[in-house]
Amino acid sequence: MALLKIARMGHPVLFQHAKAVADPGNPTIRRLVDDMIETMLDAPGVGLAAPQVHVSLRLFVFRVPGARAGEGSEIPPGVLINPRITFLSEEIMMCTEGCLSIPAMRGIVPRFAHIRYRGVDCDGRVVEAEARGFHANVIQHEYDHLDGILYPMRLVDFTSFGYAAEFANAANGDAP
């Protein structure tokens, strides 16, 4: 296994529409997925899409840590290959997001509150679930990477976009 280099905002691979994975069971894909999980955990992050490691294919790895699971359950690191998302209601939630391709920053963007998704894993098994809250947030953020969309492109209020440390300082009353 190996840690992969993460592309940062500005690299053209992040703005491409990624191609479907033709053979999810291919050993090359399996190795890529293993390396992406290792890279995500090392960062640390909760999701990592193939375009972020310079591979323009429709797959991402993600996890839902227990502390972020809310009323849902913890989800260990896993992969979603050739995913599809269905929005189950028109309800919108505002999500504070960061991205490994945009280090140290965060922003608040609208996401659908209730979704269903479906894809496959490296064994060709169907992976499908209904998701709400943080789980639904992660899936939509990672899926966007496959379509060349980064979260700042979804901002509705630019004043919510900035350095995480500055927002933390302001919240702690350290700001002038």
Give the residue numbers marked as catalytic.
142
Closest by CA to 54, choosing from 14, 19, 100, is 14
Q: Widest CA span of the chain, in angstroms? A: 55
Of 4-12, 27-35, 95-103, 122-130, the segment contacting Ni ion by CB under 5 A is 95-103
Nearer to Ni ion, 40 or 99 (CB): 99
Q: Contact with Ni ion (CB under 5 A): which of 37, 57, 75, 99?
A: 99
**What is the C-alpha separation between 158 and 40, in angstroms, rounded?**
27
Of 94-102, 104-112, 119-127, 158-166, the segment contacting Ni ion by CB under 5 A is 94-102
CB of 150 to Ni ion, least distance (A): 7
User: Which SS3 state, helix, strand or coil, does residue 52 take?
Assistant: helix
CB of 96 to Ni ion, least distance (A): 13
Nearer to Ni ion, 72 or 98 (CB): 98
Q: Cα 148–97–176 angle (5° rounding)?
A: 130
Q: Total residues at the site for Ni ion (CB under 5 A)?
A: 1
DSSP 19: B
Nearer to Ni ion, 109 or 122 (CB): 109
Nearer to Ni ion, 49 or 81 (CB): 49
Q: Does 136 bind Ni ion (CB under 5 A)?
A: no
Residue 99 CA: distances (Å) to CA of 28, 72, 86: 25, 22, 23
